[in-house]
Chain A
């Protein structure tokens, strides 16, 4: 039987294969890796980090305040 881990993703408890990475969660939940940063246990995490039992994954948008340069550079 395949080994699994239990992690919280955006508040939801999920059972996932033991070799799940942050990148997999990005893809699974449709959070573009360029537009969102994954926070694992409250800290930014690299996308190739393997998740561990009990990890809490949240996404934060890489925000934009307002049109930064308004077409003029």
Chain B
């Protein structure tokens, strides 16, 4: 048996960049310390924090830590959860997990169907064949889900949207934006101030926590979180993820260093990056966008053509 380098109990994970093995309790303390530093920075009295809860490991742990943080620190923050049901068969199990968790924690929980909000589900789009062959299901799902979360949270009165994004997710996104030369997205990357009052500020308690740490902790602690890969997952992110995983294997700490460099570089040059990028209201839905029509409305128009065919 491998013992924890901090307390001598049975270890469950080896943290390569720190060269130490940790048990379940010490791993949780380590994750909690990092998450609390973000929550302390981003939450304050009077906030209404809506946790975007998919029922997977990351958002489930985010909800647990946010609720715990608010109770421990005794701050006046209302915490609730919001789940988007994209309508894929795969989602049923994770929604059940999300319901189980919010009921265990006693957290107010809303589940909103994409079919009701946008008029179609992701499963329907897939069945009818994706309207644009160059786009993957993740593009439609990601953009439309993100818009739903922001709009519903805002209308609910939320001042913060708490997400389950971990260090791996953020580093992948940074590299994707760099690769695409998406200066507009880079200028907003990890920005704490939303560029428009219509966008609810995001809080990412797990931003300095490796995905592997989240997974090991959730499995060891038996957190009710869905474990499974979305059958529709595809696209550029998978390749970037593999490349980053290989870099991390060869150079432990690579992803964390990359994220910290990104933070430094972008915060120093945010003003330059956002020069000439103007946020305006989408001509169709009124949501903030850098284009005449927002991405969600562009994608919806593509989908409606296929559905009405």
Contact = CB atoms under 8 A, between A and B. Distances in A.
B279 interface: no
Nearest to B229: A63
A69 B141 contact: no
Interface string A30-45: 0011110101000111
Given A32-B246, A32-B249, A64-B229, A47 B141 contact: no
A72 B173 contact: yes
Given A46-B21, A67-B138, A67-B237, A62 B177 contact: no
A63 B165 CA distance: 13
A62 B172 CA distance: 15
Nearest to B185: A72
The secondary structure that dominates the B interface is helix
A66 B233 contact: yes
Interface stretch (B28-36, B40-48, B215-223): B215-223
A46 B14 contact: yes
B21 A66 contact: no
A34 B172 CA distance: 14
A62 B215 contact: yes
A68 B169 contact: yes
Contacts of B12: 43-46
Contacts of A71: 142, 173, 176-177, 180, 182, 185
A34 B248 contact: yes
Contact of A73 (B22, B58, B190, B212): B190
Contact of B188 (A43, A62, A72): A72
Contacts of A73: 170, 173-174, 177, 185, 188-190
Interface residues of A, number: 29
Q: Of A35, A45, A49, A64, which is in contact with the most chain B CB atoms at under 10 Å from its CB?
A: A64
Contacts, number: 129
B38 to A, nearest CB: 15
By size class, the interface of chain B is 35 or more
Given A45-B12, A48-B2, A67 B219 contact: no
Contacts of A43: 10, 12, 219-220
Nearest to B136: A67
A70 B52 CA distance: 15
A3 interface: no
B142 A65 contact: no
A60 interface: yes
B236 to A, nearest CB: 8
B307 interface: no
A67 B55 CA distance: 15
23 contacts: A34-B212, A39-B219, A43-B10, A48-B2, A49-B1, A49-B14, A49-B21, A60-B219, A60-B227, A62-B211, A63-B215, A63-B228, A64-B241, A65-B228, A65-B230, A67-B142, A68-B169, A69-B172, A70-B142, A70-B143, A71-B142, A72-B185, A73-B177
